[in-house]
């Protein structure tokens, strides 16, 4: 292996039976996806993914003032149901769509099959909800919260499936418009529900309504009727690939969603309110960055793998990983170091102290999770061996749950965040080792060393600045970003010197 580049000269071939499908489009040119285009597309996807987060900051600031901590904690419970339900039941469909689309671009039976599977999962989720009611598995006082949470699951899952189409078709601006509409509609719906009722259930109903408005307004490529295009053989291949993926995602949902439920059980709804607010603040930024880079680059990697051009696939993976690390690392460190100012500004006064203590741990766990999910985990999907992820998620979930029982009674919400961070670290090590049995995903080692230098200088600058209020936030954000950028120029991070010189020349001309 070439350590400086991270490329492996002995590429493992993906072990799977290839579906019979139309030939890949000859007009697609990998040369179009230069580093500059990757950065531009990543920037658009990043803004699109950050829109719900940025609007989420505003929504958090509003809801933590309109709802008391107990009601906001119940709203956090419904958000946990939404995240767990969508991850367990539906998220594998979106991942599978991106993995299979490039082998059958424009095939109506592909779309019809995914719509059919979505409807089947929708019926299954209704059955699960009715079973929970009938058996009394859900406490009577929480039936309303779980029902609304499941409606949120259906809404967000349908929206996310529709959002995969512009990703697979390399249309970042269309993706941006979808998320802009969703962000505005969700903020308006949740705010209206909280303002009119001061009730968590109606706030969640407003959230679900906003998501459905965004899904309805999207230009869906799904032609009706789609049932006539359901391909049973393709559905069988999708289930072979998707069921292990769904199981691993279900276990993954236990890591975050299960941590939240345990926090409410072992501590209080108020502690869950602290955790939910901190999670929104951190994941709205860091999670969006990770998803943006992955969204921009993953489809082109899949296309290279489908063409059996594994050298190109590795080069794309290395570029994606380098860009992800170069953006995510300083953002995570910066967020941890500005947590006090962010919490003071965006969180209601009753929750500020609890959120401040959580910010560094949330930043650490989100960084580890984003690096693993958006880079290392792609090995299991590209090699079509998602069953290896099951053991990774089982290990992480076990770690998280065990540490929650140990840390929450003594450390409260901070203990839950510590448990999550440890679980992400353990799962990252597993993905790094076991992912190589599926498909080689190179590590951006040379870029990592330069990123470390840039981040070190940035930290020295940030800690010397005030850390309270709008002034502290502005100074730490702006000067921290400037210091990181200047050092990046000095060490030529991602070849930024040439791009900067070209930009200056164009501006002068």
Q: For residue 371, what are its two tokens?
A: 């690096």
The secondary structure of residue 90, as a DSSP letter, is I
Q: What does the alpha-carbon distance between residue 328 and residue 12 come to, in Å, rounded to a whole number?
A: 28
Q: How far is CA 324 from CA 48, 219, 284, 295, in A?
A: 16, 30, 16, 11
* Range name among 276-290, 310-324, 352-366, 376-390 with the lowest pLDDT average: 276-290
Report d(CA 472, CA 451) in Å as an integer: 24
Q: What is the DSSP string of 352-408?
A: HHHHHHHHHHHHHHHHHHHHIIIIITHHHHHTT-THHHHHHHHHHHHHHHHHHHHHH
Least-confidence region, from 286-290, 334-338, 385-389 = 286-290
Express as a percent the part of the chain with pLDDT over 70: 87
**What does the block give as tokens for 333?**
């460190």
- What tens digit of pLDDT does each residue of 401-417 get? 899 999 999 999 999 99
pLDDT above 50 for 23 = no
Half-sphere exposure for 35 (CA within 13 Å, toward CB): 13
Lowest mean pLDDT among 30-34, 176-180, 404-408, 496-500: 30-34
Of 247, 244, 241, the C-alpha closest to 384 is 241
3-state secondary structure of 451: helix
Nearest to 184 by CA among 45, 46, 56, 342: 56
CB atoms within 10 A of CB 197: 16
- What are the b/e assignments for 3-39, b being 16+ CB within 10 Å? eeebbbeeeeebeeeeeebeeeeeeeeeeebeeeebb
Please give the Cα distance from 95 to 381 (Å, whole number).
8
Give yes or no for residue 190 having a pLDDT over 50: yes
- Residue 207 contacts residue 190 (beta carbons within 8 Å): yes
pTM above 0.85, yes or no: no
Mean pLDDT throughout 245-251? 81
DSSP of 241-260: HHHHHHHHHHHHHHHHHHHH
Which of these ranges, 288-302, 336-350, 484-498, has the smallest mean pLDDT? 288-302
Q: Give the pLDDT of residue 36.
A: 56
Cβ atoms of 193 and 206 closer than 8 Å: yes
388 close to 15: Cβ distance less than 8 angstroms: no
pLDDT score for 462 = 94
Looking at the chain, the whole-number percentage of residues with pLDDT higher than 90 is 23
Cα Rg for the chain, rounded, in angstroms? 22
Confidence of residue 32 (pLDDT cuts 50, 70, 90): very low
Residue 224 pLDDT level (bands cut at 50, 70, 90): low
The pLDDT of residue 29 is 38
Residues 6+ apart with CB under 8 A from 20: none
Among the ranges given (94-108, 176-190, 333-347, 475-489), the one the predictor scored with the smallest mean pLDDT = 94-108
User: Residue 192's Cα: distance from chain center in Å?
Assistant: 27
Task: Please report the pLDDT score of residue 206 as a whole number.
Answer: 92
Phi, psi angles (nearest 5°) of residue 350: -75, -15
d(CA 304, CA 314): 9
Instruction: Please state at what angle helix 269-283 crosses helix 35-66, rounded to 10 degrees.
Output: 150
Choice between 136 and 441, residue whose per-residue pLDDT is larger: 441
- With 60 as the cut, is the pLDDT of residue 225 above it? no
- With bands split at pLDDT 50, 70 and 90, how would you rate the model's confidence at 257? confident
Tens digits of per-residue pLDDT, 79-125? 877 877 887 788 888 888 888 887 777 677 888 888 889 989 888 88
- The CA-based angle 230-210-366, given to 5 degrees, is 85
**Per-domain boundaries in the chain:** 52-443, 448-500
For the record, the structure tokens of 259 come out as 């941590």
Is it the case that residue 398 has pLDDT exceeding 50? yes
Q: What span, in angstroms and rounded, lies between the C-alpha atoms of 397 and 254?
A: 6
Residue carrying the six token digits 């993706």: 175
Q: According to the model, what pLDDT value does residue 249 have? A: 79
Q: Are 332 and 367 in contact (CB under 8 A)?
A: yes
Cα separation of 456 and 487, whole Å?
A: 10
Looking at residue 14, what is its pLDDT? 40
Question: Residues with Cβ < 8 Å from 185, sequence gap 6 or more?
Answer: 209, 210, 211, 213, 214
Q: To the nearest 10°, the Cα dihedral for 484, 487, 489, 495?
A: -80
Q: Is residue 220 very low, low, confident or very high in pLDDT (cuts 50, 70, 90)?
A: low
Q: Characterize 441-480 residue by residue with b for buried, 16 or more Cβ atoms within 10 angstroms of its Cβ, and e for exposed.
A: bbbbeebeebbeebbebbbebbeebebeeeebbebbbeeb
What is the model's pLDDT at position 463? 92
């Amino acid at each position: 292996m070439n350590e400086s580049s991270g490329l492996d000269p002995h590429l493992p071939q993906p072990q799977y039976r290839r579906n019979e499908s139309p030939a890949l489009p000859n007009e697609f040119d990998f040369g179009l996806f230069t580093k500059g285009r990757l950065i531009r597309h990543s920037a658009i996807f990043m803004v699109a993914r950050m829109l719900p987060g940025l609007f989420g900051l505003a929504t958090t600031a509003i809801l933590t003032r309109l709802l008391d901590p107990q009601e906001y904690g119940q709203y956090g419970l419904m958000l946990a149901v939404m995240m767990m339900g969508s991850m367990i039941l539906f998220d594998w469909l979106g991942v599978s769509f991106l993995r299979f689309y490039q082998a059958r671009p424009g095939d109506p039976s592909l779309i019809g099959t995914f719509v059919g599977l979505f409807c089947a999962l929708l019926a299954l989720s209704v059955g699960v909800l009715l079973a929970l009611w009938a058996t009394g598995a859900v406490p009577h006082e929480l039936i309303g919260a779980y029902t609304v949470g499941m409606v949120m699951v259906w809404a967000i899952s349908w929206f996310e499936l529709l959002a995969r189409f512009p990703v697979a078709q390399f249309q970042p601006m269309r993706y941006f418009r979808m998320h802009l509409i969703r962000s505005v509609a969700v903020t308006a719906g949740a705010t209206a529900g909280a303002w009119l009722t001061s009730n968590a259930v109606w706030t969640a109903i407003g959230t679900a309504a906003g998501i459905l408005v965004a899904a309805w307004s999207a230009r869906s490529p799904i032609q009706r009727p789609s049932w006539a295009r359901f391909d049973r053989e393709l559905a069988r291949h999708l289930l072979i690939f998707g069921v292990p993926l769904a199981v691993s995602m279900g276990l993954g949902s236990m890591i975050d969603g299960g941590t939240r439920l345990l926090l409410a059980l072992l501590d209080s709804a108020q502690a869950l309110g602290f955790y939910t607010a901190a999670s929104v603040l951190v994941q709205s930024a860091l999670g969006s960055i990770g998803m943006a880079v992955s969204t921009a680059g993953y489809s082109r990697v899949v296309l290279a793998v489908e063409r059996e051009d594994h050298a190109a696939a590795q080069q794309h993976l290395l570029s994606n990983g380098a860009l992800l690390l170069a953006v995510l690392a300083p953002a995570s460190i910066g967020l941890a170091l500005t947590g006090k100012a962010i919490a003071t500004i965006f969180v209601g006064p009753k929750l500020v102290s609890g959120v401040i203590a959580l910010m560094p741990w949330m930043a650490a766990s989100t960084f580890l999770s984003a690096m693993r999910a958006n880079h290392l985990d792609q090995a299991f999907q590209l090699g079509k061996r998602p069953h290896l992820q099951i053991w990774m998620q089982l290990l992480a979930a076990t770690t998280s749950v065990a540490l929650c029982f140990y840390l929450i009674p003594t450390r409260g919400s901070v203990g839950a965040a510590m448990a999550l961070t440890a679980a992400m670290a353990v799962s990252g090590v597993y993905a790094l080792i076991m992912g190589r049995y599926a498909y080689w995903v190179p590590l951006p080692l040379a870029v990592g060393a330069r990123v470390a230098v840039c981040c070190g200088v940035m930290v020295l600058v940030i800690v010397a600045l005030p850390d309270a209020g709008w002034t502290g936030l502005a100074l730490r954000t702006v000067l921290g970003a400037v210091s990181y950028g200047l050092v990046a120029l000095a060490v030529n991070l991602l070849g930024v010197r040439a791009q900067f010189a070209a930009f200056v020349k164009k501006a002068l001309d």
